[in-house]
Structure formats: C-alpha cells, structure tokens
Copies of this chain bind each other. A is one copy, B any other.
Amino acid sequence: MLTDFVLQRLDAATEEGAEGVEPVYWRLYRVLQDAIFGGSLEAGTQLPPSRQLARELGISRNTVIRAYEQLSAEGYVRGGVGSGTFVADTNPDRLVGSPYNNKSRASPRENRAGMFLPRATFSQRGMALTDGAGAGTRQWGAFMPGVPDVRMFPLRIWSRLSNRALRRPSPELLSYAVGPGYAPLRTALASYLRTARGVRCTPEQLIVTFGIHTCLQLIAYMLCDAGERVWMEDPGYWGVRSVLRAAGVDVLPAPVDHEGLQFARHVRQTQTGQQPVPRLIVVSPSHQYPLGAVMSLARRRQLLEYARSARCWVVEDDYDSEFRYGSRPLPSLQGLDEAGRVLYMGTFSKVLFPGLRMGYLVVPEDLAEGFTLGLAEIYRGGQYLLQAVMADFIAEGHFVSHIRRMRLVYAERRQCLLDAIRSRFGDAFPIQDEAVGLHTALRLPTGCDDGAISAAALADGVITRPLSGYYINRRHRQPGLVLGYGHVDPKDIPAHFDTVARAIARHI
C-alpha cells in the first residue's frame, strides 16, 4: 500500500520536476517528506526495509538507503541498523506545546520553517512526555490552580528551626540517606496522619519522597511491569498520566461523576475477560482533581471490595484535603481499608509550599521493606537535613497551626471567587465545587472552546486552565475553566474574574 502511494507520487514528482534533473533518491526523499508532513504517514509508522522498498519500486537499494539517510539526518524518521525505520513525530508545536501553552497552530509550511527541535533524537516516550506536557510555563498568578499562598508561610519559624538543625548536625543527616526517611519525621507524620486524616499507619509504613510524582513513580516501578494496566480518573491530574506512561504502564482512563471514579464498567469487563485486571487504580477520593467530587462512601466500599477480590492496589492521592471548609474533612480511603490494598500519597506542596519538593507515601506493612530498597536504588534516598527541619516543624505544632490559619484564609478567597462568578453569570454555568482545596471548576456550555477562552484571558494577564486539557479520552471532554484561588488576594479576585468573564463572553 505504501509502495503504491510512493509510486504514484514518484511519477507525479517526476512530471513536476521539469526535465527530471532531480536524482531518484531526492524525489523519493521529497515524496516521503511531504507524506510525513501532510500526515499521510503518521508518526510511528514503520517504513518498509530498504531492500523490500527497492525491489517493489524497481530502483536500487542504495537509492532507498540514501533517501532514508537524508530523512534521518533531517529528523523525519528515526531508527538504526537492524531496528527498522520509523516516522518521527515532526509536529513541533506539539513538542513545546500543551493544552496550556496556547500557542497558535501553525500551518504545515510554517511548522517546517519553525522546526528547531531535532525530533528524531528523542525517544518515543520522551516525545510522548513533551507532546502531552501538562506543566505550564507560568506557575504563579491568578488563577493558577493548585498553588497555595506561599507568602503566608511562616518563614521566620522555618529559618529558626533550620538554623538549629544546621548548628551541629550528625554526619548521618548530611550524608547518604539510609532507610525510608528521617525517623523523627516519620513518627511525627504518622501521628498527624492518624489524627487528622484517619490514616491507619505506623512510622514503619512511611516513605519520604520528593513529592507525589516520585511517590507514584516508585509505586509504578515496584508494583507494575511495563505493559501492565492502570486505571486513572478522566479528567485527572496530568502528572499521574505522565509519570505512569513514562514508567511504561498502560493507562486506561475511567470517567468521573459526582461520586468520584466510575469503575463499574471496567470491573465488568475484567470479570468477563474483556480487559485484564489492573495492577493499580489511582484515585483522588477526598477531592477529585480537577472536578472536585468527594468520593461517596458507597463508591469507596465498592472500590476497596474490588481491590481486595481482584488483588490489585488502590493508590490514594490525598493532595489538598486538609483544606475542607464548613465540615470536618472526610477520613482517608486508606483508613477504611481492611485488606491492606491501599497506598496513600501525600504532599507538603499544598499545605506548606511547593518548592519544598517533599511528599510521602504510606504503604501496607509488608511492602515497606521493598519500597525502602527501591527508594535507595532509584533516588539514592532523601534530604535528611531538610527532613529534620520538617520533623521539628510538625512536632512543635507549627504545621497544624499553619493549616488551621490557612483554612480560614482560603475559605474567604473561595467565597470571594464564587461570589464573583455568581454576580457575573448568575447560575448560567454550573460550578463544580465541594468546598475542599484550592481550586474550583467552572463548567462552560458544550461545544465552546475553553482553550481559546483560556488563551484570551492569559493575553489579558490572567491564568486559567481549560478543563478539556485534563481529559485523556477525547469523547468525554467537557469544556470549562479550572480556577485556583489559594494564592490570590481577595480584593483582587473580582477584577481578575472580570477579565476571565470578558474572555468567556467573547467566545460564547
């Protein structure tokens, strides 16, 4: 089929090419190059072996090799001796772009001129990572979701504790780490998690990491082999998708409703043999990201029961549930688990500040030793000096009082944003908000282009995230805007939301 396609176009190229002065390899190169740019040859397609294509086209093998080499030198294809030649992903705005970068799409010709990245150099998984990049290039400013008000972190207290730790640290605090984390930090954390989050754990079950990403990567390595199946929420956190895909597991999205993850259909399919039992099911039950649902107790029980019977693992991402306004925070899913099938991930990014890059993992007792070894092999352990400061910060009560203080601050800002939305739009657009966390999701009418709205708001200086960008399954996509209020001064919220509202009005 490819041969027919090339033959037709080779003939056409010969006709176009004036007196046929172009050598055959060059014509072949141009035909393939155009096919790659035009999209007729998709990224990842394997080209026929040079010997085969030469025979089928009735030209010499060296001619084909030369054309392939030219394509390879320019980054249109990749491959090596014996490993086959594959069409590279040559769409440059996908490499630097993302749903959030809001770069305008260039025409193929402009793409070609603007192609500055050597696409053929990156691996397929490297390209998948950068093509689907979720991390934005701006991480501070209204209404960037998920960012706490770092300006209110008690740096003076932190500085004092830090100086104390630096005064006469034992060499072990400065050297290579041994074990799953600094013991006093694990003790302080276990006690906090038991009381505040209903997590059933001992310090021995805690592993201290560089954040949720590292927690999930370690889980994927330790519990899943490449090609094994993982279910995740759709829409969901882009970081979960990126980390899991890079780790080679097969990510299957599952839809989300007001009770959280809808896994019933997937479960039936595993029972009828239509799909394999997953190794992991990754959920954010306390505050679904980004839609905000709190998983119902019925759904929690179903999930735990399925995990128990199918012997798969549930990964609970509890990233910001400390900030629950009005009622007491729901206890963790882990606390309901009688069968030891839940791995609980937490982070200091939301409750303290993201630049700490510190998170933690609670694993079932019998996994702790293996995870500790894996941590040392993959990351060479942690930052015990920093962990010692954190241990004191928690043990001396600063952690809990900071959370308590910020809960009031964020509650006011949330109300302020909800008021701004209502005063501008009334009840025209549903707001998805369960009074938890640092962000809210504003739904927009089906069919409207939330990417364009987000871009327009950004042009006027306000960051938002288009809801559609959080979906893996295109058929589930719903437009909307995810708005973070945590780090925005309440007095500025109405004006910033007016900017967003103008962008919405222009696009509806």
On A, residues with C-beta under 8 Å from B are: 80-83, 95-96, 116-118, 121-126, 129-130, 132-140, 147, 150-151, 153, 155, 158-159, 162-163, 166-167, 169, 171-179, 210-214, 217, 221-226, 228, 238-239, 242-243, 246, 248, 270, 273, 276-277, 279, 310-311, 349, 353-357, 366-367, 369-370, 373-374, 376-386, 487
Contact = CB atoms under 8 A, between A and B. Distances in A.
A222 to B, nearest CB: 4
Contacts of A221: 123, 125-126, 129, 246
A81 B276 contact: yes
Given A123-B228, A129-B222, A177 B273 contact: no
Contacts of A376: 133, 135
B123 A222 contact: yes
A92 to B, nearest CB: 10
Contacts of A126: 221-223, 370, 374
Contacts of A175: 139-140, 147, 150, 353-355, 487
A297 B166 CA distance: 43
Contacts of A210: 210, 379
A267 to B, nearest CB: 12
B378 A246 contact: yes
Nearest to A220: B123
Contacts of A96: 369, 373
A147 B381 CA distance: 14
Contacts of A80: 276-277, 310-311
Contact of A378 (B121, B129, B139, B369): B129
B373 A129 contact: yes
A95 B366 CA distance: 13
A187 to B, nearest CB: 19
- The count of identical subunits is 2
Contact of A213 (B122, B239, B378, B386): B378
A122 B223 contact: yes
Contacts of A242: 377-378
Given A122-B222, A162-B162, A224-B123, A273 B172 contact: no
Contacts of A125: 221, 225-226
Contacts of A311: 80
User: What 9 A-B pairs have minimum CB-CB distances, sorted nearest first?
Assistant: A135-B376, A150-B174, A126-B222, A242-B377, A139-B176, A174-B353, A130-B373, A174-B355, A159-B166
Nearest to A146: B176
A467 B166 CA distance: 35
Given A139-B176, A150-B175, A213-B378, 16 more contacts: A81-B276, A122-B222, A130-B370, A134-B377, A159-B163, A159-B167, A162-B162, A171-B487, A173-B355, A174-B355, A176-B355, A210-B210, A211-B379, A212-B380, A354-B380, A356-B383
B133 A377 contact: yes
A85 to B, nearest CB: 13
Nearest to A372: B130
Nearest to A130: B373
21 contacts: A81-B270, A81-B277, A96-B369, A122-B222, A124-B225, A130-B374, A135-B176, A135-B376, A139-B177, A147-B176, A158-B166, A159-B162, A159-B167, A174-B354, A175-B355, A176-B354, A210-B379, A226-B226, A246-B377, A248-B248, A355-B383
A372 to B, nearest CB: 9
Nearest to A158: B166
Contacts of A381: 135, 357
A382 B116 CA distance: 26
B158 A377 contact: no
A444 to B, nearest CB: 26
A135 B214 CA distance: 18
A357 B382 contact: yes
Interface centre among A83, A171, A226, A386 (most CB of B within 10 A): A171
Contact of A153 (B174, B224, B228, B248): B174
A377 B129 contact: yes
Nearest to A173: B355
B150 A155 contact: no
A83 B276 contact: yes
Given A243-B378, A248-B226, A277-B81, A171 B159 contact: no
